Chain A
């Protein structure tokens, strides 16, 4: 009886160990532990009457993670069709620029938000149309959109960093990035809800399966009756739309768009989050939960950099090292290391026995 329970336990541990998510969560916990060692009240939460929500290092981290959650979710869907969307960072800048510029020109704040979302959706649709209908390489298509997007953002604001912090009636947008729902950052709550909605859309309908099918073999998926072009178009459109939300989070946080800095390099962060989450860049099976954890880890690494006070010169290197370590931790080769060594030892013993 006890033996059986132990066996079951072992099986569970094995399953957990082979799951990417476990390692991601473990990496996250490790980062939190490192931070707590350097700053003893890292986990401390307090109530801030000024903002009407919880305050503390973890809360600002969650606030920052919202934008990564958005772009990582879109990126996951795109990558699982064996594509890539390099334009998310630029889309963030364009959407943010559209929101801030229209707002400071006196447009109603809700209209501004809608315009920003529409702009993101349109860019996503253009990407989708080029990739699906014309069959262009996703890498090239979205790379061009990445370069063009920066230009568009600059055109929208005429090269300025438009500031809408003093515009009357900007509260809804401000709340979006800085507000709280039941003490938890509003943008994080919204981001999680959107991730769950996308997850439901993928897993409760056949969509997720279709996306994976397209990613594994487009031609085969077409023969089974899936319309790969439709699916491709859809994932890029979703990615653009989610990037626009991320752009709103990033700019509304300070109510200011920085045409050069907003969303800069974030496409790389999104790809990293997806990879940490265990989705293969070759397409096919994807894990939205994994990418979500990956996105939070990205925010956590950035928080760790601040907490440890790492030199500005060394931050990119630190970032890279942490990501590599996480990827190594997840590699199946490493997991099988123990079994491999056992096998080799057995072989050696056998060879010895034969020799004797």
Chain B
């Protein structure tokens, strides 16, 4: 009886250990093959967009003949990203690709990279750098424009409500450059007769967006809200469920940014009204930029990736096409 219990405890602890090991990153290998080594400081699994983006970058660099060392963080932990970045600098890789979770706090690490003369390419999310020395490390930023996406959302609302309307904005977590840029884009273009009753953060989460939207719909019932601008698809899908539960489906237009398959399907089903793509497929462009730079060619400081916008019809087309990678 005693032994039996001990055996169970052993198995249990072994299982726990294995699962811990399984979630650690496997980051090994050095360049024996003479290939150029590129370090990728990544975000890791976060959702459809991120997976598509990072898989594409990984594939593109492999095709371009680089050895890519992939180092994802967990739960948007910047500390882990900084550690990975510093490790790449110490290992003297040939270039670093940085997809940062936060836009500030990179000065020290970038300075080290500049000293070691390692070129840094920021992808998707830009970083804010104050230090002139650190700025030198960044060769180029590659990614779609968040401001542009916010502008598209504002223009859709302007066009659909020429006589003005009330609505809400669902934001991502405070402090992210994405959130700021998408918000700036919106405020740049939005017409003066469009009134945002309230902006609330729903932390990119579907579940939280549903709760927040339900609360806002209750609070502003008398103001007749007609649009919700959700800064990403996940929140838009949550908002759609709250709108549906309140019996307002079709009466409140929901605009989202990202363009995941789920959102396009919801667009076809009429849960969402407009989806602005934030194109994650730019691995090729990134690999090309890194290659050009290492070959001694000049690289543009800001490489903007083109994105599309979808309404119900074009969403159906894109889905039927089967061309969506995410």
Contact = CB atoms under 8 A, between A and B. Distances in A.
Given A48-B246, A306-B211, A152 B19 contact: yes
A129 B246 contact: no
Interface centre among A56, A165, A166, A262, by most chain B C-beta atoms within 10 angstroms, is: A165
Given A134-B9, A160-B48, A306 B212 contact: yes
A152 B47 CA distance: 15
Interface centre among A56, A134, A161, by most chain B C-beta atoms within 10 angstroms, is: A161
A307 interface: yes
A302 B221 CA distance: 20
A145 B74 CA distance: 15
The contact size tier of chain A is 35 or more
A179 B113 CA distance: 55
Interface string A46-57: 001111000111
B74 A150 contact: yes
Interface string A245-268: 000001101101011111010000
B219 A39 contact: yes
A119 B76 CA distance: 26
A341 interface: no
A56 B245 CA distance: 11
B78 interface: no
Contacts of A302: 211
A161 B234 contact: yes
Contacts of A56: 218
A212 interface: no
Interface string B129-157: 00000000000000000000000000000
Interface centre among B210, B219, B241, B244, by most chain A C-beta atoms within 10 angstroms, is: B219
A133 B23 CA distance: 25
Interface in B35-91: 44-48, 51, 74-76
B206 A313 contact: no
Contacts of A48: 245-247
A50 B244 CA distance: 8
Nearest to A316: B174
A351 B238 CA distance: 68
A340 B318 CA distance: 74
B1 interface: no
A57 B215 contact: yes
B204 to A, nearest CB: 7
Contacts of B245: 48, 50-51, 55, 178
Contacts of A133: 5-6, 8-9
Nearest to A314: B174
B9 A258 contact: no
Nearest to B220: A39
A60 B6 contact: no
A64 B209 CA distance: 12
A260 B265 contact: no
A144 B16 contact: yes
Nearest to B19: A148
B203 A261 contact: yes
Contacts of B221: 41
Interface in A12-31: none
Interface in A308-341: 309, 311-313, 315
A184 interface: no
Given A56-B218, A133-B5, A251-B207, A126 B15 contact: yes
Contact of B47 (A160, A166, A250): A160
A43 B12 CA distance: 49
Interface string B183-218: 000000000000000111101111110111011101
B322 interface: no
Contact of B247 (A50, A60, A251): A50
Interface string A281-313: 000000000000000000000110011010111
Complex A-B, nearest 6 residue pairs according to Cβ-Cβ distance, in ascending order: A151-B23, A159-B45, A312-B201, A306-B215, A133-B9, A261-B205
10 contacts: A49-B247, A50-B244, A60-B211, A130-B9, A130-B12, A161-B234, A256-B237, A306-B212, A309-B219, A312-B199
